[in-house]
Structure 1
Amino acid sequence: MAKTDVPIVTELKDAELIHVPLKANAVVLHGTFALIDATGHGIASSTAVAGTQKCLGVWDASYDNTGGADADRLGLVRRKKAFLFKNLETDAVAQADLGATVYVADNQTIAKTHNTNARPIAGTFLGFDTQYTDHVWVEIA
């Protein structure tokens, strides 16, 4: 497609909630990280975390694709918000890390480091929670 030299109408939509096709037999849990694999399918919340995965947001509900093939079921992922997650004790963020990129340690926990590229990016560390002091706020864009 060539560049335009005239004004155009560019379609748009809100991207706070997006549909993500689930991997065959995947069961995802509400409130956990919504991770996809290299094929672009949502993987089970029980799948081991790997650096090749991508975090799109947080599952907006629990979804079950048991017995289904890839993309037989869609799940809604919420993004473009700050979410409250556990802070991994053995690789925890500190106040000095405010604004830093943080990584997925498990389906509900973030870590300060990528662990030699073994963890996908979760988002940006926005600070500690005042009520749940072992939890942190993470923006997922």
Structure 2
Amino acid sequence: MRVRNLTIGLLTGMTLMTGHSEASPLDDLRWKNRVLVVVAPAGDAAAEQQRKIYQASAAGMSERAIVLREAVGDGDPARQIRSRLSADGQRFQVFLIGKDGHTALSSDKPLSADHLFAKVDAMPMRRDEMRRAR
């Protein structure tokens, strides 16, 4: 009975997971990278500020496997990302997505590199990465 219930639960979960008709452009990055996602209307000043923070800290971002993706405009990839994050794109939002695909952090203001690095460095997977690098 327990095995049957477990099997039914696993099959139901797999069906729900594969039932998404629109794959997010973020899916290819899962288990490879952490993703800093900027959602904003075109020309948003906060989005530009977040972009500059990312670029100015490129070495630290690379060390932590953080890649930048933007969901700006009306193209399919931007819409898919906004849908995945339940963001409307009418205002600035930034999300840090962990390698496991879950949202680790979100804000309506640009995030400093120090804040991002502290958050990532506290993640169990990152701590394991640092331990293995020694």
Q: Normalised by the size of structure 1, how large is the TM-score?
A: 0.24
Relative to its length, the structure with more strand (as a share) is 1
Relative to its length, the structure with more helix (as a share) is 2
Larger relative contact order, structure 1 or 2 (CA cutoff 8 Å, min sep 6): 2
